[in-house]
């Protein structure tokens, strides 16, 4: 028998704790992977809760849940707000969930205070953003924007070999029973999210207004040299790909410091073969992840990086292969929405600042097609994707207030 879920919920914090029971892990984390039982239970619970708020609720054909409050003057201009319901494995309670719950609560409060809006408001609980079960991300917002469709579900498989399609079918989605996820009626998308960094914590401000979601490029660099005996091989004849990798990573980081604004460069992964203390490696692979809000900065760095790697490797007799396996262009947030968000914060005396989001979000996918904006609240220690994820009740409330007032400004 399922344990009784929390039923009395007054604050955003109560709602966070309530939703965190679906897929709760022993150490206070949450695991809700797309189309699993925990995920479906949570999505159904969200839908029921939205209904209890007096919103018209529905699933779409990939399992996104909407709670709609129709507009009286321009019902076809829809202002959508929300985030995603899925999590990484043993993630935190706030990532995604906060934006979904804050959206529901904001619309509930607007409805109770002001009645029906002029334009339609919709809270959305997007089915998937993290890419933690299947090797793809943004399944919910990607289907809404037409980047993906249910026809794309045949290929991707989870670790046990289950296809996205069969997992989707098992939950009743993807068969046309529900309305297609594809939308053409969105006039604005607003996503409230935890920062997942510590910019706000360090500045002491309560709200981040995102100007742009950084573009990302990811590379796997493979260097092939000559595997040899550490004792008998003279330094002058070595073709040592780990020595060369170290120099490249060091020089790329120095180069990144010279970039305008902040280019973030991370080498997170490195492997050497055979990886034995007394053997000069024959082959080393390392990853490079670069992020920046300006396309031209990423482009120029890409060029410089390739020249630097090839130059050093040529000099050292090392064969270099650079595989760019991910490229996501920067997405600027909508100017009008950003301005409205700043006004709202000012009217409410909320301390805020502009910031770039280094992480990807649904607003990035939707922002390519529709006006979008994002609001951030602080994350303690910048920690995310961990049971240690935490934002205080006060900071969560400030975020909900900013969202509520922004939606009022846009829809009433």
Q: Is 278 annotated as a binding residue?
A: yes
- Minimum CB distance to its own copies smaller for 1 or for 254: 254
Q: Is 218 annotated as a binding residue?
A: yes
List, in order, residues 6 or more apart from 257 with CB less than 8 Å away: none
335-347 vs 393-411: helix crossing angle, rounded to 10: 120
- Minimum CB distance to its own copies smaller for 332 or for 358: 358
Q: Is 289 annotated as a binding residue?
A: no
- Minimum CB distance to its own copies smaller for 2 or for 27: 27
CB of 316 to its own copies, least distance (A): 11
List, in order, residues 6 or more apart from 53 with CB less than 8 Å away: 67, 104, 107, 108, 111
CB of 13 to its own copies, least distance (A): 23
- Minimum CB distance to its own copies smaller for 84 or for 183: 84
CB of 242 to its own copies, least distance (A): 5
CB of 245 to its own copies, least distance (A): 7
- Minimum CB distance to its own copies smaller for 384 or for 404: 384
Helix, strand, coil shares of the chain, percent, nearest 5, are 35, 25, 40
Give the DSSP per-residue string, 261-311: S--EEE---EEEES--TTEE-SEEEEEEEEEES-HHHHHHHHHHHHHHHHH
CB of 272 to its own copies, least distance (A): 5
> Alpha helices of 145-225 — where are they, by DSSP H?
164-170, 199-203
Q: Is 193 annotated as a binding residue?
A: yes
Q: Is 58 annotated as a binding residue?
A: no
Length of the chain: 412
Q: Is 401 annotated as a binding residue?
A: no
List, in order, residues 6 or more apart from 224 with CB less than 8 Å away: 241, 282, 283, 318, 319, 320, 321
Instruction: List b or e across 234-268, with b for residues whose CB sees 16 or more CB atoms inside 10 angstroms.
Output: eeeebbbbbbbbeebbeebeeebeebeeebebebe
Residues that bind its own copies (CB under 8 A): 195-199, 202, 214, 216, 218, 220, 228-235, 237, 240, 242-243, 245-250, 253, 256-257, 262-272, 275-281, 287, 289, 291, 357-360, 382, 384-385
Q: Is 185 annotated as a binding residue?
A: no
- Minimum CB distance to its own copies smaller for 28 or for 131: 131
CB of 389 to its own copies, least distance (A): 11
CB of 90 to its own copies, least distance (A): 13
Q: Is 68 annotated as a binding residue?
A: no
CB of 201 to its own copies, least distance (A): 10
- Minimum CB distance to its own copies smaller for 122 or for 389: 389
CB 282 within 8 A of CB 226: yes
Q: How far is CA 353 from the centre of its chain?
A: 20
Report d(CA 288, CA 267) in Å as an integer.
Answer: 5
The residue ranges of DSSP E strands in 24-160, in sequence order, are 56-59, 65-69, 74-84, 119-126
Per DSSP, the three-state class of 398 is helix
- Minimum CB distance to its own copies smaller for 70 or for 203: 203
Binding-site residue ranges for Zn(2+): 84, 95, 130, 193, 385
Binding-site residue ranges for allantoate: 218, 278, 291
């Amino acid at each position: 028998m399922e344990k009784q879920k929390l039923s009395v919920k007054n604050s955003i914090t109560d709602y966070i704790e309530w939703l965190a029971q679906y897929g709760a892990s022993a150490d206070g984390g949450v695991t809700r992977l797309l189309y699993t039982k925990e995920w479906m239970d949570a999505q159904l619970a969200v839908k029921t809760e939205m209904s209890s708020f007096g919103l018209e609720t529905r699933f779409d054909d990939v399992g996104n849940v909407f709670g709609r409050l129709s507009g009286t003057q321009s019902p076809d201009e829809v202002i959508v707000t929300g985030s995603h319901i899925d999590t990484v494995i043993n993630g935190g309670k706030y990532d995604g969930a906060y934006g979904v719950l804050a959206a529901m609560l904001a619309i509930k409060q607007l409805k109770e205070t002001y009645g029906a809006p002029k334009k339609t408001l919709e809270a959305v609980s997007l089915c998937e953003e993290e890419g933690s079960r299947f090797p793809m991300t943004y399944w919910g917002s990607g289907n809404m924007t037409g980047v993906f469709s249910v026809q794309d579900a045949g290929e991707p498989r989870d670790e046990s070999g289950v296809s996205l399609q069969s997992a989707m079918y098992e939950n009743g989605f993807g068969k046309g029973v529900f309305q297609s996820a594809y939308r053409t009626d969105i006039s604005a998308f607003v996503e409230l999210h935890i920062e997942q960094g510590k910019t706000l914590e360090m500045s002491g401000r309560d709200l981040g207004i995102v100007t742009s979601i950084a573009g990302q490029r990811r590379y796997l660099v493979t260097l092939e040299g000559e595997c040899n005996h550490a004792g008998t091989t003279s330094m002058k004849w070595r073709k040592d790909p780990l020595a060369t990798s170290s120099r490249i990573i060091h020089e790329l980081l120095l180069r990144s410091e010279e970039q305008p604004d902040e280019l973030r460069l991370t080498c997170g992964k490195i492997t050497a073969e055979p990886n034995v203390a007394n053997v000069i490696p024959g082959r080393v692979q390392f990853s490079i992840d670069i992020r920046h809000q300006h396309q031209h900065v990423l482009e120029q760095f890409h060029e410089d990086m390739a020249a630097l790697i090839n130059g050093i490797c040529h000099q050292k007799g090392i064969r270099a292969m650079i595989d760019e396996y991910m490229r996501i262009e920067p997405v600027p947030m909508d100017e009008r929405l950003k301005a409205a968000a700043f006004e709202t914060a000012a009217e409410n005396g909320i301390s805020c600042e502009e910031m770039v989001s280094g992480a990807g979000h649904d607003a990035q996918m939707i922002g390519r097609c529709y006006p979008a904006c994002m609001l951030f609240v602080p994350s303690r220690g910048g920690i995310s994707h961990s049971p240690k994820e935490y934002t205080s009740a006060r900071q969560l409330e400030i975020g909900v207030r900013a969202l509520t007032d922004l939606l009022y400004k846009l829809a009433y």
